[in-house]
């Protein structure tokens, strides 16, 4: 290919024209918006700010659309209905403005990917992006052009049912994966028919609900908001995320839907967000129940003045805004701004040019490419937590395999939370997969034993025991049904439900190797069951292709690589438990449980006065970033490019990684940094970079990771985001507690 070289002048000219074109684009966009806005009545403007529920469409809904009283409809479930609603809006309303059709497309539309918490365990932005792309392709066929994802709430509490929807406890990981999901949904160009607008939610702090109880209040001070909870949202905005949803919680007494600080000062003024802010379901009206507003009018004033553009189904805006503007309580300028944001999104999505969908087009749902991507995502999401004496993978000497438990063949539960549109008949369960893929060589003996995870009926236990006795190994599928996690599905106890634990204890008595596969929407407190098992694979709710992905891993066709995106506590009472906590003045040293060894009438200070529990010590069951492989990796020769850096430098971190085991495999290398002393106390470590590295058995590679020093910036005592000079400790390794260490200074 002939190379073209440009001289300096030509490059400048090119840059000039590029800038000119992008400004022109912006002016055309603004001109189109302003032109339309100038034709709108106040009522029509308010109509754009109103989102209605399309679940039970009736003449009343059609009439509202006809009158221009709806800017968006969520949950219109059929393509024909979407076209019908669009037709009314485009052809029968005065200005013919198309509707924004929205739906919760969270981890797949038809082809279901693992729950987001499972996807996070892959530490793989590419597979997360691909999953979102596929979800966009499948859902846009149904006329959906706006999803309410990614959910990027930092979640440090496994009791909270919505942890399943999140990317876990870490800010940096949530940033990377949130951006990947936004890119996947929105594609390269929002105006393409298969692109759908993303929505970063829930702004903000929702995951910190007190006691892990959904919708509960949060008390997050501004600095913590800025250092931990804001960054995933700021990164999503920078990546072009089209919309943001406010959260249900009140933080320090202010419900998010009426919080001017987060919506105006931060989102609009600091981050320059020009997309749409939508409330969560009825959260504008809920400000009355919060006791923050006395009535619908006050709630409307509070939300609209804070900068909330669209009211999701609480009808406050449509009922109150007209008279509030006329009474001077809300300025029309604020309304115009909100409507501009909404129209801008409609123009960017190309809805004015292509409001309808072609219902005759062949659907791509469940096509081979989508299924294979879902399988890969599931494979990469699995975390091997234990593998005593290399129990896994199972060898060819296994001739009879007992498949036992309530989740071995539970298509509905395998999909996980927030799956309105996945077809359960398309789900490939582990039982099917073992039979279909491995049934020729291995006799599969199946006993469901418990009908579902909460089942307390033990009458089928004898059959399970006899199946186990006849077999060479047992794979027991336990965990939780999908309904036990997700919105408003919080738990105060995280033990295995029903009689699942007893089942494992009974199986143990057979002396056969036990492989425990856990399907769940959150970390469960399974210390005892882990002890009883020879191998443990955490499979989350793995989606459509979870079955074959599990079967292949059990038989060694694939090798586990997933790492925990969240700390697993031993006991619920240890929550909140997260790896990047502060050190305290008295960090814990002991890991043993002391409760029963305390002598009678000891001295008050005899136990050492450190930050731990007498009955649970302080260490987790499994730390953040933990996950085993069938192979082994060795980290060596850590070298930093310098141990004395400027704030503008980039640190090169070199090391060699060797695959010292028998399997080709991927290792997720994690780089953590501790800022030793700060103007405020700093976490004991923070994830700053990660990389997936594939090595063949016996292979050795020199790796070079880059860490821009700017990434060590934080909001300090003066509320400035800065890198403070001083000493830092770097840790590079296979999880958040094991690794090679090196120190450096920043000037």
Residue from 92, 265, 487, 528 in contact with ligand NOJ (CB under 6 A): 487
> Cβ closer to ligand NOJ: 168 or 661?
168
CA gap 35, 16 in Å, rounded: 28
**Residue of 157, 170, 280, 409 marked active site:** 280
Closest listed residue to residue 173, CA positions, set 628, 563, 648: 563
> Cβ closer to ligand NOJ: 280 or 309?
280
CA gap 35, 37 in Å, rounded: 5
CA gap 514, 501 in Å, rounded: 13
Q: How far is the CB of 299 from ligand NOJ (least distance, A)?
A: 17
Q: Please list the residues that pair with 228 across neighbouring strands.
A: none
Closest listed residue to residue 325, CA positions, set 294, 295, 299, 304: 304
Residue from 123, 160, 172, 281 in contact with ligand NOJ (CB under 6 A): 281
Report the sign of the C-alpha dihedral through residues 327, 333, 336, 337, in that order. negative
Q: What residues numbered 73-112 form the site for ligand NOJ, per CB under 6 A?
A: 104
**H helix runs in 365-451, sequence order:** 368-381, 411-415, 430-433
Task: Copy the structure tokens of residue 248.
Answer: 């249900």
Q: How far is the CB of 628 from ligand NOJ (least distance, A)?
A: 34
Q: How far is the CB of 348 from ligand NOJ (least distance, A)?
A: 21
Q: How far is the CB of 354 from ligand NOJ (least distance, A)?
A: 25
User: Are residues 215 and 488 in contact, defined by beta-carbon separation less than 8 angstroms?
Assistant: yes
Q: What are phi and psi of 230, to 5 degrees?
A: -75, -40
- 157 carries an active-site annotation: no
* Residue 736, phi-psi category: left (phi > 0), alpha (psi -120 to 50), beta (remainder): alpha
Q: How far is the CB of 201 from ligand NOJ (least distance, A)?
A: 6
CA gap 158, 443 in Å, rounded: 38
HSE (CB half, 13 Å, CA atoms) of 198? Answer: 32
Q: How far is the CB of 104 from ligand NOJ (least distance, A)?
A: 5
Stretch (H or E) spanning 222:
helix 222-224
Q: Does 280 bind ligand NOJ (CB under 6 A)?
A: yes
DSSP 504-547: HHHHHTTT--EEEEEE-SS----HHHHHH-SEEEE--S--TTHH
CA gap 116, 520 in Å, rounded: 12
Which residue do the tokens 């071995």 mark?
408
Q: Does 311 bind ligand NOJ (CB under 6 A)?
A: no
Q: Which residue is nearest to ligand NOJ (CB)?
A: 148
> Cβ closer to ligand NOJ: 75 or 660?
75
> Cβ closer to ligand NOJ: 148 or 347?
148
> Cβ closer to ligand NOJ: 68 or 161?
161
How many residues touch ligand NOJ under the rule CB under 6 A: the total is: 6
Q: How far is the CB of 148 from ligand NOJ (least distance, A)?
A: 3
Per-residue binder mask for ligand NOJ (CB under 6 A), 175-214, x = binder: --------------------------x-------------
Task: Copy the structure tokens of residue 72.
Answer: 């968006």
Q: Does 528 bind ligand NOJ (CB under 6 A)?
A: no
**383-387 β-sheet, strand order:** 383-387, 535-538, 514-519, 473-479, 400-404, 443-447
> Cβ closer to ligand NOJ: 145 or 435?
145
Q: How far is the CB of 248 from ligand NOJ (least distance, A)?
A: 6
User: Are residues 476 and 450 in contact, defined by beta-carbon separation less than 8 angstroms?
Assistant: no
Q: How far is the CB of 597 from ligand NOJ (least distance, A)?
A: 46
Q: How far is the CB of 151 from ligand NOJ (least distance, A)?
A: 7
Task: Copy the structure tokens of residue 306.
Answer: 């804070």
DSSP 565-614: SS-B-SSGGG-S--TT-B--SS-----S--GGGPPSS--TTTT---S-BT
> Cβ closer to ligand NOJ: 257 or 449?
257
> Cβ closer to ligand NOJ: 129 or 153?
153
Distances from the Cα of 123 to the Cα of 160, 166, 214, 616, angstroms: 22, 13, 27, 30
Closest listed residue to residue 90, CA positions, set 373, 361, 353, 378: 353
Q: How far is the CB of 185 from ligand NOJ (least distance, A)?
A: 14
Q: What residues numbered 709-738 form the site for ligand NOJ, per CB under 6 A?
A: none
> Cβ closer to ligand NOJ: 202 or 688?
202
> Cβ closer to ligand NOJ: 117 or 392?
117
Please give the distance of CA 222 from its chain centroid, rounded to a whole number: 23
Total length of the chain: 747
Burial level of 703, CB count in 10 A (0-12/13-18/19+)?
middle
Q: How far is the CB of 255 from ligand NOJ (least distance, A)?
A: 14
3-class secondary structure, 688: strand
User: Are residues 418 and 108 in contact, defined by beta-carbon separation less than 8 angstroms?
Assistant: no
Residue from 142, 148, 167, 728 in contact with ligand NOJ (CB under 6 A): 148
Output the CA angle 429-432-436, nearest 5 degrees.
Answer: 140
> Cβ closer to ligand NOJ: 280 or 534?
280
- Give the 3-state DSSP-derived string for 667-678, with helices as H, strands as E and coil as C: EEEEEEEEECCC
> Cβ closer to ligand NOJ: 185 or 690?
185
Closest listed residue to residue 65, CA positions, set 41, 91, 40: 91
Contacts of 44 (CB under 8 A, 6+ apart): 68, 94, 95
- Please give the residue ranges that form the binding site for ligand NOJ (CB under 6 A): 104, 148, 201, 280-281, 487
Q: Please identify every residue annotated as catalytic.
A: 280
């Amino acid at each position: 290919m002939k190379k073209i070289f440009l001289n300096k002048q030509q490059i400048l000219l090119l840059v000039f024209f590029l800038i000119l074109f992008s400004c022109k684009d912006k002016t055309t966009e603004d001109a189109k918006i302003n032109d339309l806005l100038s034709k709108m009545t106040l009522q029509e403007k308010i109509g754009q700010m109103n989102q209605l529920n399309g679940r039970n469409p009736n003449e009343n809904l059609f009439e509202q659309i006809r009158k221009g009283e709806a800017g968006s409809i969520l949950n219109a479930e059929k393509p024909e209905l979407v076209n019908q609603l669009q037709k009314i809006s485009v052809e029968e309303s005065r200005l013919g403005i198309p509707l924004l059709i929205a739906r919760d497309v969270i981890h797949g539309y038809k082809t279901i990917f693992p729950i987001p918490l499972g996807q996070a365990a892959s530490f793989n932005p590419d597979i997360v992006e691909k999953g979102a792309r596929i979800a966009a392709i499948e859902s846009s066929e149904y006329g959906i052009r706006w999803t309410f994802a990614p959910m990027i709430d930092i979640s440090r509490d496994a009791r909270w049912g919505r942890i399943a929807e999140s990317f876990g406890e870490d800010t940096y990981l949530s940033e990377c994966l949130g951006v990947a999901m936004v890119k996947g949904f929105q594609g390269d160009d929002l105006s393409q028919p298969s692109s759908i607008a993303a929505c970063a939610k829930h702004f903000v702090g929702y995951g910190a609900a007190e006691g892990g109880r959904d919708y509960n209040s949060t008390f997050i001070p501004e600095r913590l908001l800025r250092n931990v909870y804001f960054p995933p949202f700021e990164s999503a905005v920078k990546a072009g995320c089209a919309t943001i949803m406010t959260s249900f919680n009140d933080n320090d007494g202010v419900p998010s839907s009426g919080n001017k600080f987060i919506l105006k000062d931060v989102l609009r003024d600091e981050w320059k967000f020009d997309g749409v802010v939508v409330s969560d379901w009825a959260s504008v009206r809920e400000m009355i129940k919060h006791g923050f507003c006395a009535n619908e009018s006050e709630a409307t004033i509070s939300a609209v003045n804070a900068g909330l553009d669209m009211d999701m189904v609480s009808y406050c805006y449509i009922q109150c805004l007209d008279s509030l503007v006329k009474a001077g309580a809300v300025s029309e300028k604020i309304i115009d701004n909100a409507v501009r944001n909404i129209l801008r999104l409609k123009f960017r999505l190309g809805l004015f040019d292509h409001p309808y969908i072609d219902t005759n087009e062949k659907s791509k749902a469940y096509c081979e490419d989508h299924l294979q991507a879902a399988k890969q995502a599931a494979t990469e999401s699995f975390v091997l937590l234990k593998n005593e004496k290399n129990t896994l993978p199972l060898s060819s000497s296994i001739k009879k395999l007992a498949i036992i438990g309530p989740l071995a063949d539970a298509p509905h539960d395998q999909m996980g939370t927030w799956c309105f549109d996945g077809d359960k008949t398309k789900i490939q369960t582990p039982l099917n997969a073992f039979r279909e893929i491995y049934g020729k060589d291995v006799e599969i003996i199946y006993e469901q034993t418990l009908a579902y995870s909460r089942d307390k009926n033990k009458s089928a236990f004898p059959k399970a025991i006899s199946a186990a006795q006849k077999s060479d190994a047992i794979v027991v599928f336990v965990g939780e049904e999908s309904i036990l996690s997700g919105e408003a599905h919080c738990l105060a106890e995280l033990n295995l439900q029903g009689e699942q634990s007893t089942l494992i204890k009974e199986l143990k008595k057979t002396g056969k190797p036990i492989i425990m596969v856990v399907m769940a929407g959150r970390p469960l407190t399974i210390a005892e069951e882990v002890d009883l098992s020879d191998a443990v694979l955490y499979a989350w709710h793995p989606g459509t292709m979870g079955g074959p992905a599990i079967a292949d891993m059990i038989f060694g066709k694939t090798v586990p690589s997933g790492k925990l995106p969240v700390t697993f506590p031993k006991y619920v009472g240890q929550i909140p438990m997260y790896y990047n906590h502060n050190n305290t003045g008295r960090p814990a040293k002991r890991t043993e449980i002391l409760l029963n060894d305390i002598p009678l009438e000891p001295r008050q200070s005899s136990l050492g006065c450190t930050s731990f529990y007498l009955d649970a010590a302080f260490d987790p069951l499994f730390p953040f970033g933990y996950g085993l492989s069938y192979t082994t990796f060795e980290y060596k020769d850590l070298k930093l490019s310098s141990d004395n850096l400027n704030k503008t430098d980039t640190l090169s971190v070199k090391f060699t990684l060797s695959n010292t085991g028998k399997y080709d495999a991927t290792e997720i290398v994690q780089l953590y940094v501790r800022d030793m002393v700060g103007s405020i106390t700093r976490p004991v470590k923070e994830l700053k970079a990660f990389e997936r590295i594939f090595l063949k058995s016996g292979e050795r590679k020199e790796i070079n990771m880059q860490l821009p020093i700017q990434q060590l910036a934080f909001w300090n005592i003066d509320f400035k985001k800065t890198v403070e000079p001083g000493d830092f400790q770097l840790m590079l390794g296979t999880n958040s507690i094991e690794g090679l260490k090196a120190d450096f200074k920043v000037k």
